[in-house]
Amino acid sequence: MIKLNHNVSKKPLIIPLIFILAFVNPYVEILQFTNPIAYMLDHYALYAAGLIIGYKYFRGSFWSLLIGVIPAGFWHIPLFFALAASFWQYRFLCEATLLVGGILAGSFIPKMSLAQKLAGLAVYMLADSILSIFFVLGYPQYSDIDYPFLGWSNTELPPVGIAMFLVMNIVLIYSIYKLMRNIQLF
């Protein structure tokens, strides 16, 4: 299902390690219990770290892609989102599965056609836009209104949605840049 690519240096590990160390440390882990922006950026960082590792070091199949996107969707279902934001045990599972899911999904990217890559980007942008709209609107399903054990209110969610739109724009700009470079427009 997934094969190790032996022809790669260790240099591509630098960015994933920075992402992991920036968010998987005691200070940020504690901050995530009360700061939804830190919590959401943690999701991006760990999944992106996994994508880079998978892309550079492994070769997977379409099945690895499908299995790899499951954690990204699962941990944004309101109940599981709230559990991982509130309890260490769920947080550990969330972070571990997001990283592994990113590795699995990233392992198929080198085998994807341009159309598949564009479709994947479009699906990501659509799903992330929907979730960020939920946050901008302050949906109670992602706050202490529906889950009293959660450490933030729905009034703290709009900045999270804005941060998500910023991340999406960075991903989109980077993707367009890579596309233009590959077709030698730059």
The model's pLDDT over 163-172, given as tens digits with 9 standing for 90+, comes to: 999 999 999 9
Contacts by 109-116, CB closer than 8 A, 24 or more apart: 109/51, 109/54, 109/55, 110/55, 110/59, 111/59, 111/60, 111/61, 114/179
Residue 22 lies in a domain: yes
3-state secondary structure of 3: strand
In a domain, 87, yes or no: yes
> How much of the chain exceeds pLDDT 70, in percent?
98
Q: Which of 116, 95, 98, 108 is nearest to 58 (CA)?
A: 108
Q: Does residue 30 lie within any of the structural domains?
A: yes
Residue 4 lies in a domain: no
Q: Look at the chain and report how many structural domains it folds into.
A: 1
Interatomic CA distance for residues 137 and 180, integer angstroms? 35
pTM score, whole prediction: 0.94
Domain containing residue 24: 11-182
User: Is the distance from CB of 68 to CB of 102 less than 8 angstroms?
Assistant: yes
Instruction: Give me the chain's average pLDDT, please.
Output: 95
> Look-up: residue for tokens 């109940």?
79
Does 186 score more than 60 pLDDT?
A: no
